[in-house]
Chain A
Amino acid sequence: MVSNKSFWVIVIGAIVLGIIIGAAATYLTAGKQTVTKTVPTTTTVTHTITSAVSGAEQAATTTKTVTVTTTSPAETTPTEKVKLVVIGPWSGKSAEYFKAVIDNFTKKYPNIEIEYIARRAEDIAKTAPLQFAAGKTPADVIITPWAWWIVEMAKKGYVLDISNLINPDEYIPGIVDKVTYEGKIYGAPFTMWLKPGFWYRKSFFQKYGLQEPKTWDEFMQLLDRIKKIPGIKAPIATGDGVGWPESDIVEHFLITFGNPELQLKLINCEAKFNDPQVKEIFKKYLVPLIKNGYFSEPIEWTQAAELWWNNQYALYFMGTWITGRVPDPNDLDFFPLPGSKGVVGGADYAFIPKFTKNLEAAKLFVKFVATEGQAYHVAGPAGKIPTWKKVSIDQLWKPMQTVYKKITERGMTILPDLDDSVGGDWQTLFWDQLKLLWADPDKVDQILDTLTQQHPACKSK
Chain B
Amino acid sequence: MGLLARRKRTKIILAFLLPELALILSFVLIPIMGTFVISFKTDHGYGLDNYYGVITERSPDKALVIPENIVKAQPPPWGALIHNIVWVAIHVPIVVFLGLGIAYLLHDVIGSSIVKSIMFLGMVIPMVVGGLLIRFMFDGDLGVVPLLFRKLGIEALSRTWINYPQTALIALILGSVWLWTGFSLTVYAAALESLPKSYIEAAKVDGASGFQIFFKVVFPLLKHATIVVVIMTMLWDLKIFDIVFVSTLGGPGGATNVMALIMYTYFARALDYGRSAATAVILALISLIPGIWFIKRVMRSGS
Contacts and interface: CB of A to CB of B under 8 A. Distances in A.
A432 B73 CA distance: 16
A425 interface: yes
Interface in B247-274: 249-255, 264-271
Most interface-central of A19, A25, A297 (chain B CB within 10 A): A297
Contact of A126 (B10, B22, B250, B268): B268
A152 to B, nearest CB: 6
A17 interface: yes
B92 to A, nearest CB: 28
B72 interface: yes
B261 to A, nearest CB: 10
| Chain A contact patch, size range | 35 or more
A444 to B, nearest CB: 10
Nearest to B164: A439
B248 to A, nearest CB: 9
Given A125-B268, A425-B265, A447-B253, A440 B18 contact: no
Contact of B165 (A9, A20, A439): A439
Given A439-B165, A443-B73, A443-B253, A297 B140 contact: yes
Contacts of B270: 424-425
Contact of B253 (A9, A14, A427, A432): A432
Interface stretch (B58-66, B95-103, B169-177): B58-66
B250 A10 contact: no
B292 interface: no
A433 B60 contact: yes
Contacts of A72: none
B209 interface: no
Given A9-B14, A129-B271, A425-B269, A243 B249 contact: yes
A13 B73 contact: no
| Chain B contact patch, size range | 35 or more
B61 A429 contact: yes
B159 interface: yes
Given A2-B10, A450-B69, A432 B251 contact: yes
Contacts of A21: 22-23, 26
B60 A429 contact: yes
Contacts of A433: 60, 253
A10 B14 contact: yes
Most interface-central of A25, A243, A443 (chain B CB within 10 A): A443
B25 interface: yes
17 contacts: A2-B10, A6-B13, A10-B18, A13-B18, A14-B22, A16-B22, A25-B26, A126-B264, A242-B249, A243-B249, A297-B140, A425-B265, A427-B269, A428-B265, A436-B255, A446-B72, A447-B253
Interface of B: 10, 13-14, 17-19, 21-26, 30, 59-62, 68-69, 72-73, 135, 140-141, 159-160, 163-165, 249-255, 264-271
**Nearest 7 pairs between A and B by C-beta?**
A436-B253, A17-B22, A126-B268, A14-B21, A18-B25, A435-B252, A425-B269
Interface of A: 2-3, 6, 9-11, 13-22, 25, 122, 125-126, 129, 152, 242-243, 297-300, 424-425, 427-429, 431-433, 435-436, 438-440, 443, 445-447, 449-450, 453-454
